[in-house]
Amino acid sequence: MAIELEYNKEHVINAVKQNIRFLNLVIILIISTLILVNTKFLTSLLDYIPINSVITLLIVLSGLMVGIIFMIKKISYTAMNKLMEYSDKIDALLITKQTEITERKIAEERLMKAHDELEYRVEERTVELSKTVEIMEEQISERKRAEETIQLQLSRINVLHSIETAINASLDLNFTLEHLISQVINQLGVDAATILLLRQETLILDYVVSKGFRSNALKYTRLKLGESNAGQAAKERRIVSIPDLRQQSEGFERSKLFVNEGFVSYFAVPLIAKGQLLGVIELFHRKPLSSDLEWLDFLKTIANQAANAVDNAILFDRLQQINFKLMLAYDTTIEGWSHALDMRDRETEGHSQRVTEMTITIAKAFGIEDSKLVHMQRGALLHDIGKMGVPDSILLKPGPLTYDEWIIMKRHPEYALSMLSKIDYLEPAIDIPYYHHEKWDGTGYPKGLKCKEIPLAARIFAVVDVWIRPALSFRVAG
Ligand SMILES: [Fe+2]
Ligand SMILES: [Fe+2]
């Protein structure tokens, strides 16, 4: 651009110089023409003016002409210089503008570059952000999965707690196992389940409870150890898993209805508590089952709980049987004592037994609860047990008792209290032996209670004891 400007400037200068030369030539021509035109005038002028004056005039004129030319030339050069000056200024201006344009271009280029860089960075940042968003989404998904896992685990803990509560709340084994099997189906996501218990006497696995079956397919299951899949799980004490029952021709021959159930997946888990095999829990699903480690752990935990429930129920059953036998032994003993007391007191044969039966009949009519009736029964049978502390000389005296003897005789309720209150099992039966000689009007003994101060059991018994006392009895009701 600078070269181009320089070239244009040179071009202008040359053009101005040519014009000046041309102007000089024109002026000379004009002057020459004027001279030529006025030669005649000058010639005629010589007639009037001496030659020297003419020459002088010519010289003056020539000088004038030269001066004019010089002036014109000067003016031209001045104009040219001015022009050059303006041209320089224009050049400078142009250069400035050119510089500005160049700078602007550079700025634009920088701007473009910056724009490109910015665009690149924006793109790069966008990619980074996308990656960050993807990572965050993945983290959110992971967190959601973790939350779902936690929720699942919490739910399973609740289930285990619920099963434990059911086990603790009820010792009815069937109820507990029904509750457990419902939870197993819900929490492990299987279609059906069944529990077989091992009968220790016969070593046979018997069906106990099931849920989710369309038919009675496995309701009559009785398996020997090692027989079928459940028997195998029990015998080998390990989980038996069959991913696709359709591929297995054996295992459920025990039920013709089983095929119609359409089960695909199967698990059999032995129920073992304190090292003892108690049964097997079987799980069935009508689709392939994806069982991860966590699922299997939960299955094992449930199986442990089921085993504990069975163990508790068996222990409770044994305890109940022992308790029943113990109660029977106690009651037989009490009846024996009662009979012995009757005999010692020379009561009519079976007196205590009869008053007891009538007392219980009336107590039932009063609506007294069964749990209290058993204590009333024992109390009635032992109502005169305190007489064990009365000497035979008084108890068996044929005639009337003296005052002192009577005082001793009237102590027998207190002897009863002293004897029975030391025996936990008989302490709740104390009301009849201790209060059976109290009277409604407060004239009885040992405490002189009256009306409803006297325990109801003692009131009922006292009425019965007097009512059925043999007419020949010579003393007050025993
Ligand atoms: Fe008595
Ligand atoms: Fe009696």
- Give the integer Cα–Cα distance in Å for 2 and 95: 7
Query: Residue 346: nearest ligand to its CA?
Result: 2
Flag the least confident range among 180-184, 209-213, 351-355, 384-388: 180-184
User: pLDDT value at position 10?
Assistant: 72
Kindly state which CATH superfamily the domain 172-312 is placed in: GAF domain (3.30.450.40)
The beta-strand segments (E) located in 151-264 are 192-199, 204-211, 222-224, 240-242
- Each residue's pLDDT tens digit, 396-450: 888 888 999 999 999 999 999 999 998 888 999 999 999 999 999 999 999 999 9
Helix or strand holding residue 266 (H, E): strand 265-273
Q: Where are the domains of the chain?
A: 2-144, 172-312, 345-467
pLDDT tens by residue, 293-328: 888 888 888 888 888 888 887 888 788 889 889 888
Q: How far is the CA of 383 from the centre of ligand 1 (A)?
A: 6
Nearest ligand to residue 436 Cα: 1
More confident residue, 416 or 350: 416
- pLDDT tier, 160 (very low <50, low <70, confident <90, very high otherwise): confident
The ligand that comes nearest to the alpha carbon of residue 384 is 1
Edge-to-edge strands, sheet with 222-224:
222-224, 204-211, 192-199, 276-285, 265-273, 240-242
Model pLDDT, residue 3: 52
Question: What are the residues whose beta carbon lies below 5 Å from ligand 2 (ion)?
Answer: 465, 478
* pLDDT (0 to 100) of residue 142: 86
CA of 333 to the centre of ligand 2 (A): 18
Sign of the alpha-carbon dihedral angle for 55, 58, 59, 60: positive
Token code pair at residue 390: 């009365």
Tell me which of 3.40.50.720, 3.40.50.2000, 1.10.1740.10, 1.10.3210.10 is the CATH number of domain 345-467: 1.10.3210.10
Q: Ligand 1 mean position to 478 CA, how many Å?
A: 4
pLDDT band, very low/low/confident/very high, at 472 (cuts 50, 70, 90): very low
pLDDT tens track for 200-223 = 889 999 998 889 888 876 777 788
pLDDT tens figures, 35-75: 676 666 667 767 777 777 767 777 787 777 777 777 777 77
d(CA 350, ligand 2 centre) in Å:
10
Mean pLDDT of the chain: 83
Q: Does residue 476 register a pLDDT over 60?
A: no
- Give residue 340 CA to ligand 1 midpoint distance, Å: 15
Task: Give the mean model confidence (pLDDT) for residues 192-200.
Answer: 91
18 secondary structure, DSSP code: H
Residue 8 confidence (pLDDT): 63
Whole-number Å distance, alpha carbon 352 to ligand 1 midpoint, is 11
Q: 0.85 exceeded by the pTM? A: no
Flag whether pLDDT at 478 surpasses 60. Answer: no
CB 460 within 8 A of CB 467: no
Tell me the CA–centroid distance for residue 477 and ligand 2, in Å. Answer: 6
**Nearest ligand (C-alpha, residue 433):** 1
Question: What's the 452 CA to ligand 1 centre distance in angstroms?
Answer: 20
The alpha helices in 345-455, defined as continuous H runs, are 351-365, 370-381, 392-395, 403-409, 412-420, 431-435
Structure tokens at 141: 């998904």
pLDDT confidence of 474, banded at 50, 70, 90? Answer: very low
Residue 131: enclosing H or E segment and its boundaries?
helix 51-169
In this predicted structure, the answer to whether residue 137 has a pLDDT above a threshold of 50 is yes
Cα(55) to centroid of ligand 2, in Å?
A: 199
CA of 324 to the centre of ligand 2 (A): 28
Q: Could you tell me the two tokens for 186?
A: 């819900």
Q: According to the model, what pLDDT value does residue 29 have? A: 80
